[in-house]
Amino acid sequence: MSGLEVAGIVLGAIPLLISAIEKYKTTSRILKIIPLKTSLMNGLISCLKEQQFFNHSDLVSILKATSIDKSDIEGLGLDDLLVELSDEIKEYLGEGVTPYMTAQPPCENKLTEISKSLTGLTSNNKAYPPDHGVYEFARKIRFSLKKDEIDRHVKELNGNTSNLRRIRQYSESHAQITFPSSSRTISKITSYLDLVAEHAYHLHSVIDFGYAEPCHSYHEAQFFLQHRADSIKRPKATESLPLAFTVGFGPTIEGSCYKTEVKVLEEDLACCVDKDDHCPISTNKAKRPECCAPPGKKKDEKSRLSFKTASICQDSQSPLISIRSLCQQFSGLNFGDFFLSKKSLLFHASTSATGISSGSSLDFTHLVPLERALKPRNMSLNQRMTLGLNVVSSVMQLNSTHWLDLPLNIRMIHLILNGPMTPATSIQPLIKHKFTCDTGKKSGSNVRSTMLELGIILLELWQEQTSFTSFIADSQISASNTVGFWYDAACQWADESIDHIMPFYHDVVKRCVECNFATSPGGSAEFDWNDLTFRRSVCEHVFQPLWEECRLI
């Protein structure tokens, strides 16, 4: 008899035992003399009902992953379906099929052992099982178990139930996602993040061009990470919120920098461009960056979104000025607003031209590494969840740009803290980026490594105080600097944390660590950020769950 057939028998036997014990409770004289045994009977019944519930739920969850119509699962009967769909069930369980089949006979043996202690189990019901779920018995039920035996049965039944549930959860988390998302919402979110990625790519190019003068060995900028959820949480929200990037332009030595928004414009600003604007300003840079999409990234034209352009005061006497040298721009303290044009040109306008400036001075002494900010354990769950969403979204936005050195880790992220962290503190994460004269083509990053590190960051945010390196040290694991080691250690940390992590969050972490996402049919065996199906899958199984939860807390 196969494990699946045993599962059906177990599920059918439990109602019989429950009915028999309930009958014994109502007819036994000894229970009236020894009330303690009544509580033991209630505990055993509760344990059997729990096993029935979880076994039934697990089997239904498994069947939902097969080709059977969801509405037919209850109507056709689990026994027949388990046998009929056995091959599909085994495929779904994957590596967990052997442990699952092996775990079924102990459940049957335990129920058999309990039934041997009951006499008078012959039922008057011809239906099997009865429609109302309660068996009726012609003979008086006798139950010959002692207290210690009942306690042992309860403990072992709970162990069997927990084991089956854990195996099913393991198989479910390891089930490969093979079908691309057809959700219109997912398509729109992915499209918008791709649009942001395109302009972030252009912004890096124009800033790199603006820092072309060899006046310093390098120039530094601070790029603020944004989850962009405010732009996609409402219908047509992208048409009401202008697309902008928050950037800090600073000196090469630590001190203060100028934090401002760079607003993206769609209109043609040719009237504001000097006649020599397209001339190179440095022998190190041959020409201005071309306006093009990030290399190799396929666009989703069907779901492509637009956004509202930043407004400019047309009656102003101060025109927009094309920036040639960012270093000269800030040396003269000529602050104001910045704009990124459709043709990937960077413009500046004084405060009088735009009204109220979005710029402000940022003191570097207020920058705190995220790893250090987590240690006092002062960040609320809401702050940590929002920060996790921010990091996930930023990886999706910046993976094809020079802004992000992948794989991202927690030591690369900084926060602006003007005082002690409180639940009301606004979290402003950023990354530092150096512009040098030899900025070249972005080197490719292994997607699996990127997603593995992303899963580790999410775990570190949840644990708040325990960093991944601390977990490795505390676990006394023999460390090695290989992807395989980091993968095994991350899986172990996630598994050990399952009891105190929200189920959806644990699933998000495991998907990232295992890089369990859909890819385009017939595509490369390796995951690729240029694969639209892969980006949608990450959006559906990582970004959206975090986004939905952040909206609730």
Where do the structural domains in the chain lie, given as residue ranges? 3-174, 184-365
Percent of the chain at pLDDT above 90?
14
| pLDDT(362) > 80 | no
Q: Tens of pLDDT along 239-271?
A: 556 789 999 887 645 556 778 888 888 665 544
Using an 8 Å Cβ cutoff, are 309 and 253 in contact? no
Q: How many helices (H) and strands (E) does the chain have?
A: 19, 12
Rounded mean pLDDT, 491-505: 86
Q: Percentage of residues in the chain with pLDDT exceeding 70?
A: 64
Amino acid, single-letter form, for residue 129: P
Reported residue count of the chain is 553
How confident is the model at residue 529, as a pLDDT?
A: 92
Give the pLDDT score at 225.
Answer: 94
Alpha helices (H) along 497-531: 503-514
- For residue 277, pLDDT over 50 is answered with no
**pLDDT score recorded for residue 314:** 43
Task: Of 17-21, 118-122, 360-364, 402-406, give the lowest mean pLDDT range.
Answer: 118-122
Q: How far apart are CA 448 and CA 133, in angstroms?
A: 49
Please tell me what DSSP assigns to residue 429: E
d(CA 91, CA 63): 11
Query: Higher-confidence residue: 223 or 145?
Result: 223
Cα gap 204→67, rounded to integer Å? 48
The token pair at 381 is 């769950």
Highest mean pLDDT among 46-50, 136-140, 272-276, 427-431: 427-431
The average pLDDT across 15-32 equals 73
Q: Which of 106-115, 215-224, 448-457 tops mean pLDDT?
A: 448-457
Helix (H) or strand (E) holding 435: strand 429-435
Residues contacting 344, CB < 8 A, separation 6+: 202, 205, 206, 288, 289, 290, 291
Two structure tokens written together for 192: 């918008």
Mean pLDDT of the chain: 74
Indicate the pLDDT class of residue 351, thresholds 50, 70 and 90. Answer: low
What local confidence, expressed as pLDDT, does residue 230 receive?
76
Residue 286 confidence (pLDDT): 38
Q: Is 13 helix (H, G, I), strand (E, B) or coil?
A: helix
Which among 190, 208, 248 is positioned nearest to 429, based on CA atoms?
Answer: 248
| pLDDT greater than 60 at residue 318 | no
Q: Tell me if the bond preceding 129 is cis, omega within 30° of 0.
A: yes
User: What pLDDT, on the 0 to 100 scale, is given for residue 108?
Assistant: 81
Please give the angle made by the CA atoms of 408, 224 and 235, to the nearest 5 degrees.
Answer: 100
pLDDT in tens, 387-443: 999 999 999 999 988 898 878 888 899 998 877 777 777 888 999 988 887 665 565
Indicate the DSSP class of residue 275. Answer: T
pLDDT tier at 359, thresholds 50, 70, 90: low
Comparing CA positions, the residue from 112, 127, 121 lying closest to residue 139 is: 121
Range 149-177 average pLDDT: 72
Question: Of 45-54, 71-80, 88-97, which gets the smallest average pLDDT?
Answer: 71-80
Give me the residues paired with residue 143 across strands: 118
* pLDDT for 271: 45
Tell me, what's the pLDDT at 196? Answer: 92
Environment class of residue 29 by beta-carbon count within 10 Å: exposed (0-12), middle (13-18) or buried (19+)? exposed
Residue 198's Cβ-count burial label (10 Å; 0-12, 13-18, 19+) is: buried
